[in-house]
Structure 1
Amino acid sequence: MLGAARLHRDRWSDERELAHAILGTVVGAAAMAVASLHGSLGEVVVGVLVTVAVYWAAERYAAVLAAAVRGPGRWSRSVAVLRRGWPMIEAAYTPLVVLMAAVLVTGRLQTGVLVALVVATLMLGGFGHAAARRAGTSRAAAIAWGAGSAMLGVVVMLLKMLLH
């Protein structure tokens, strides 16, 4: 898991990209929690992928509209804006891979979902901490931001428990 946390270390170079990763992780985890209520593993995976893609498209559409609606260089600005939001999609993959591996090992979807949600929560804490450090905060503040980000994952896990 530590290797996965370092996977995008150089690519997610600033706090904005990490903020997109936090959003993608939260949306993916919430979609996983809800889709697992009545779906199979395949349905959960497809549900998460489609949900994250729709959120990404909506968020990026709004950003493109704001940044590139008129003037010369529209196309290049639009492409740049779309690339900036890509960590939202990338961050949603790790919990899905964990979900599939856990289900493969245990044979139980709900166990796999719980393990994946724990991993998503740990990722959120790491992303929040890294974003705060890259924004120039102190270590103590970064720990607080990391804990706050991890709390988003805890809320998703509580949602899962309340729905079951």
Structure 2
Amino acid sequence: MSEAGGPVRRSVGRLRSRWADERELADAVNGTVVGSAVMVAASLHGSLGQVVAAVVATLFVYWVTERYADVLASGVHGTAPDRSRIVGALRSGWPMLQSAYAPVIVLLVTSALGAELRGAVLAALGLSTALLTCLGYEAARRSGAPVAAALGWAAGTGLFGVAVIALKFALH
């Protein structure tokens, strides 16, 4: 695939093979939005390292909290969570963390290429918005929605990224 669209097509293909169920797609959307919002907030007064640390640490805390809540809730019906339930809960929810990798990498790479923190954050937020758009489209198509409806869902999901970008401009 030497044509220009090759890397994009490969990325979309990887997205289709990941995050196969509705919970994983929901976790990916949540992780992307939370990671983006933290990136905006941390970039107000932080350095590049502080922004990356804030995104990674916040998403990790969200993931641990969600996993803990799942294990805790699993015992509501009177059976105490056993080792297999705890291990299963820890294995799920990874898309919340995985969805933040690419925007953080874009932040680091654009910074390394000489962009100021503000520009690097905007590049990462642009990727986050594109990722959200793709997640919305993919979720709708997997549910059997026709292409036109899936494009509507893609636009709606992408608006979360646009909202975070608007927040960045409002705060800076």
Is TM-score (shorter-chain normalized) higher than 0.5? yes
Q: Distance in 2 between matches of 1:48 and 1:58?
A: 15
Partner in structure 1 of residue 171 of structure 2: 163
> Contact between 2:133 and 2:158, CA under 8 Å: does it hold in 1?
yes
State the Cα RMSD in Å. Answer: 1.8
**1:108 lines up with 2:116 in the alignment:** yes
Q: 1:40, CA displacement in angstroms?
A: 0.8
**1:147 lines up with 2:155 in the alignment:** yes
Q: 1:38 to 1:154 in 2, by over 3 A?
A: same
Q: 1:130, CA displacement in angstroms?
A: 0.8
> Contact between 2:60 and 2:97, CA under 8 Å: does it hold in 1?
yes
**Corresponding pairs, count:** 164
**TM-score normalized by structure 2?**
0.87
Give the alignment of 1:1-164 within 5 angstroms: 2=8, 3-68=10-75, 70-71=78-79, 74-164=82-172
Q: Distance in 2 between matches of 1:156 and 1:74?
A: 40
Larger Rg: 2
- Match of 1:33, as an amino acid? V
Indicate the SS of the match to 1:112.
helix
**More contact order relative to length (CA 8 Å, sep ≥ 6):** 1
Which is worse superposed, 118-127 or 5-14? 5-14
Q: 1:9, CA displacement in angstroms?
A: 3.1
**TM-score normalized by structure 1?**
0.91
> Contact between 1:22 and 1:88, CA under 8 Å: does it hold in 2?
yes
Indicate the SS of the match to 1:156.
helix
* Structure 1 ranges of 4+ moved more than 6 A: none
Indicate the SS of the match to 1:7.
helix
Structure 2: any 5+ residue segments left out of the alignment? 1-6
> Among the aligned pairs, what percent are the same residue?
49
Kindly provide the CA deviation profile for residues 71-95 of structure 1, in whole angstroms up to 9, marking residues without a partner as x: 2772222222232211000101110
